[in-house]
Structure 1
Amino acid sequence: MEKALDKFFHLTEMGTNVKTEIVAGLTSFVTIAYILAVNPSVLSAAGMPEGSVFTATAVISIIGTLMMAALTNYPFILAPGMGINAYFAYTVCLGIGYSWQVALAAIFVEGVIFVILSLTNVREAIFDAIPFNLKYAITTGVGLFITIIGLKNSGIVISNESTLVSMFSFHGSFVDGTFTTYGITALLALIGIFVTGILVARGVRGNILLGIMITWGLGIICQFTGLYTPDPAAGFNSLLPDFSNGLAVPSLEPTFFKLDFSNVFSFNFLMVVLAFLFTNLFDTIGSLIGAAAKADLLDKDGKLPNVKGALLAESLATMFAGLIGTSSTATAVECTAGIAEGGRTGLTGVVVAIMFTLALFFSPIFLAIPSFATAPALVIVGFMMMGSVVNIDWGDVTEALPAFIAIVSMPFMYSIAEGIALGVLSYVAINAFSGKENRKKISGVMWVLFFLFIFKYCFI
């Protein structure tokens, strides 16, 4: 068996073995398993049934990761991307007002476009056309966007008429008698952020998932001691898993093939697809490069061999994600944890896929995890994405100002799409009027996007 695996995955050639790959796969799964709790929590805000989203999340992670292993023999994991799911729920559905069925149609269309682009060199060409500083800005902005969503979902940050937002008043919750619901959950989320941060700082494997579990565990203790009082009508459910239906896998039927193409020819739908397209493009390429560099898979020119296979796997997975009922997939940056353990081949991904399959049968556990326990994960992932800000050339105003505009637009306008649009518009406008040399930096693709966004703001 070991010899067959060695031959199929070229283990010896890649300087690894079966045991190392299994350990790497288990490590990668532990670091990414939080998506099974976070993705249903995020997409449920759009009205999607959590049970179906849980199953869809696991299934697409299995399919995507296996395709990545088969097409590339790389130790990369494909799972619903953080940031894309937030845009799906909070901008497309709650912001623009589209139903989640229409949003799934946009995910599917994005996947089809990605497949077409991945079969050619167009996808890489599009990526190359966007200025590096703007790419880093988008990643940073998405991190801030995810962070504010986590803080709002936890109740730590609340709406305020005079200042737009403010911190939750723990003293006020004692006075009005809401501490056992609103107050304690906000406090637990705050504690969870600190606990997860400490785990990250200490380099504990599976720190994000462990942070979720510790926060959830503290919540269960609070429920048993009366500090937390379930109030389903107000959105505060019991924190205990419901095993009344056993360990049955939640049905996919409520979301499976529920795509709505009724708005497919509208300009707003096109903008949503483009927002998905560009956000996912940056996320995937960036994660691929980062993971490949950590695994020493880049060639002497800094390129990833068989990158087309990796992009095709991600594109097909995104298309299937729309069909079965979840947001689009991306290469999970968390797979670098498995790579750090020595994972170098697709066998690492196969192990991860097996673990996702087993996780399907424990849905009551994952679905009982409350939003205040997953909020720390959103904040910490936002922190990790924020690191891209140091790569921006702050000494060049023509690069830094558009980057800054893109970054601040996403959290303050509560929209990734607006950040991308304003980043592109400001980049083209500033460089177009800053001298001949700066005008040369503007690619044809950027000009096309510039006029497309102008049209959107003038006529939509």
Structure 2
Amino acid sequence: MFEKVFKLKEHNTTVRTEIIGGITTFFAMAYIIFVNPSYLSQAGMDSNAVMVATCLSAAIGTLLTAFMANVPFAQAPGMGLNAFFTFTVCMGMGFTWQQALTIVLISGVLFLIIAVSPLRKKIINSIPACLKSAIGAGIGLFIALVGLLGSGIITANNNLVDLGNITAGAPLLTIIGLIITGVLLAWKVKGAIFIGIIVTTLIGIPMGVTTIPETLTMSSINIAPTFFQLDFGGLFSHALLPVITAIITFMIVDMFDTVGTLIGTAESAGMLDEKGNLPKGDKALIADAIATCVGACLGTSTVTTFVESSTGISEGARTGLSSVVVAILFLLAILLAPIAGIIPSAATAPALIIVGVFMLKNAVKIDWSDFEVALPCFLTIAMMPFAYSISDGIGFGFISFTLIKMFRGKFKEIPVLMYILSALFIAMYILSAL
């Protein structure tokens, strides 16, 4: 059955490999189960309902990706997008969380319209090969930074980054896990990243970093406080420009976070075809757009494809079967939330850092001697971690690539869609500044 549905032999993988990949991806992104409610609750949403909505939307989105595109990518409410939801749209622009969910739904519908149109393939195919490589390298640095910040090895205070206290607690456990996982990889141990997460979690028990829960079940499961809590009437009682700004921002960030993650991760894993495109990447975009719409109805911010999928891909996952495993674990997490909570961020951080190492190898494919290529690629790579945004890295790369080619008079070397995408990014930055 698995072979018929997911074509395992064709993708040179096995059921065991896919299961390990799925488990690895889940534990690398399981933090979202608890982080997302902590963000959205600050906007006035019910924390428990958001947690259930987070798990359900992640499971639904990931299953859509598995069966529509047969690729090993997982979905969940995106980090950064949930912060934008709470601190910008609700606290900054003055929308209620019900109105903010409505904005997310509209942005998802617009994304879906684009994804099912002929633009869906052109969006991915129009990206120059050099920028595809830069996107992969940039994502590597981005997720490595996520791991370093999440573990406390690096701290960020007053807009400055610094080295944290690495001699105790979570930072020390992360370093221990990094060494363990690194040694396992050096010895080419199968499942090294997953083994590293488990071993690091166990070591964290006597260190006081890994917390063993007192109960294994949730006291209540109730999604009613956020389920279909949309407010179209209240939304359009606001001025039109802030509404449009929020919708466009959500849509563009979701779209290009997804495109960037799909292309960058697939490029690193050798999953692109001879033309440099991801097979069924268009269907993965459609799945992502549908998941965003479903998530808004359930009661969570924008659902997007997670870069942490690269941890499972690094373990050999190549088909949607690994995504099915991730989805099942998210559904189980609703009933057994404390089990997901056993895995501390200090145990998953080494996986993210090491995957960053894997993905940075894409940079060697870039012709750094050609400045027309070097500057856009550098901006793509640098802006992702420095701006803490995959989409900003893509935006700066696209805009600089287009402008340099234009000023060099090489208009024919610029795909038509690159002009459009660059203009959209410029418009987004202008609108967000108003």
TM-score (norm 2): 0.76
Alignment correspondent of 1:152: 149
C-alpha change, 1:149 and 1:89, in structure 2 (3 Å) is farther
CA RMSD of aligned residues (A): 4.1
Shift of 1:195: 2.5
C-alpha change, 1:328 and 1:220, in structure 2 (3 Å) is same
Shift of 1:404: 0.5
Counterpart CA distance in 2 for 1:268 and 1:91 is 9
> 5 Å matches for 1:89-238?
89=82, 93=86, 101=97, 107-159=104-156, 164-169=160-165, 183-223=168-208
Alignment correspondent of 1:80: 75
Larger radius of gyration: 1
Task: Check the 8 A contact 1:43/1:88 in 2, yes or no.
Answer: no
Task: Check the 8 A contact 2:173/2:346 in 1, yes or no.
Answer: yes
Task: Check the 8 A contact 1:249/1:360 in 2, yes or no.
Answer: no
Counterpart CA distance in 2 for 1:10 and 1:216 is 34
Quick check: 1:67 aligned with 2:76?
A: no
Shift of 1:166: 1.9
Counterpart CA distance in 2 for 1:425 and 1:188 is 41
Counterpart CA distance in 2 for 1:170 and 1:290 is 30
Counterpart CA distance in 2 for 1:385 and 1:104 is 34
Counterpart CA distance in 2 for 1:366 and 1:323 is 24
Letter in 2 for 1:128: N
Quick check: 1:33 aligned with 2:5?
A: no
Task: Check the 8 A contact 2:58/2:327 in 1, yes or no.
Answer: yes
Counterpart CA distance in 2 for 1:32 and 1:404 is 28
Percent identical residues: 32
Alignment correspondent of 2:414: 442
Alignment correspondent of 2:36: 43
Quick check: 1:330 aligned with 2:305?
A: yes
Cα displacement string for residues 152-177 of structure 1 (whole angstroms, at most 9, x for unaligned residues)? 2322222467x932212468xxxxxx
Counterpart CA distance in 2 for 1:353 and 1:278 is 23
C-alpha change, 1:59 and 1:288, in structure 2 (3 Å) is farther
C-alpha change, 1:187 and 1:303, in structure 2 (3 Å) is closer
TM-score (norm 1): 0.72
Counterpart CA distance in 1 for 2:338 and 2:200 is 17
Letter in 2 for 1:273: M
Shift of 1:335: 5.4
Alignment correspondent of 1:179: none
Shift of 1:122: 1.0
Residue number among 306, 319, 324 corresponding to 2:293 in the alignment: 319
Counterpart CA distance in 1 for 2:26 and 2:190 is 12
Residue number among 250, 267, 271 corresponding to 2:245 in the alignment: 267
Residue number among 329, 343, 353 corresponding to 1:379 in the alignment: 353
Cα displacement string for residues 241-260 of structure 1 (whole angstroms, at most 9, x for unaligned residues)? 130x7356754445544567
Task: Check the 8 A contact 2:177/2:196 in 1, yes or no.
Answer: yes
Counterpart CA distance in 2 for 1:348 and 1:146 is 20
Alignment correspondent of 1:234: none
Counterpart CA distance in 1 for 2:347 and 2:96 is 24
Letter in 2 for 1:213: I
SS state of the match for residue 40, structure 1?
Answer: helix
Counterpart CA distance in 1 for 2:47 and 2:193 is 21
Counterpart CA distance in 1 for 2:55 and 2:366 is 35
SS state of the match for residue 155, structure 2?
Answer: strand
Moved more, 59-68 or 147-156: 59-68
SS state of the match for residue 432, structure 1?
Answer: helix
Letter in 2 for 1:193: L
Moved more, 415-424 or 86-95: 86-95
Counterpart CA distance in 2 for 1:338 and 1:373 is 16
Moved more, 253-262 or 377-386: 253-262
C-alpha change, 1:36 and 1:287, in structure 2 (3 Å) is closer
Task: Check the 8 A contact 2:200/2:347 in 1, yes or no.
Answer: yes
Alignment correspondent of 1:402: 376
Quick check: 1:242 aligned with 2:237?
A: no
Shift of 1:286: 4.8
Letter in 1 for 2:211: L
Moved more, 353-362 or 388-397: 353-362
Counterpart CA distance in 2 for 1:130 and 1:301 is 11
Cα displacement string for residues 54-85 of structure 1 (whole angstroms, at most 9, x for unaligned residues)? 5445433432344345445x3x344226xx83
Counterpart CA distance in 1 for 2:260 and 2:206 is 41
Alignment correspondent of 2:262: 284
Counterpart CA distance in 2 for 1:104 and 1:204 is 44
Shift of 1:141: 2.4
Letter in 2 for 1:217: L
| Structure 2 unmatched runs, 5+ | none
C-alpha change, 1:145 and 1:303, in structure 2 (3 Å) is closer
Count of residue pairs brought into register by the alignment: 412
Shift of 1:124: 0.9
SS state of the match for residue 166, structure 1?
Answer: strand
Task: Check the 8 A contact 1:196/1:211 in 2, yes or no.
Answer: yes
> 5 Å matches for 1:414-429?
414-429=388-403
Counterpart CA distance in 2 for 1:374 and 1:282 is 22
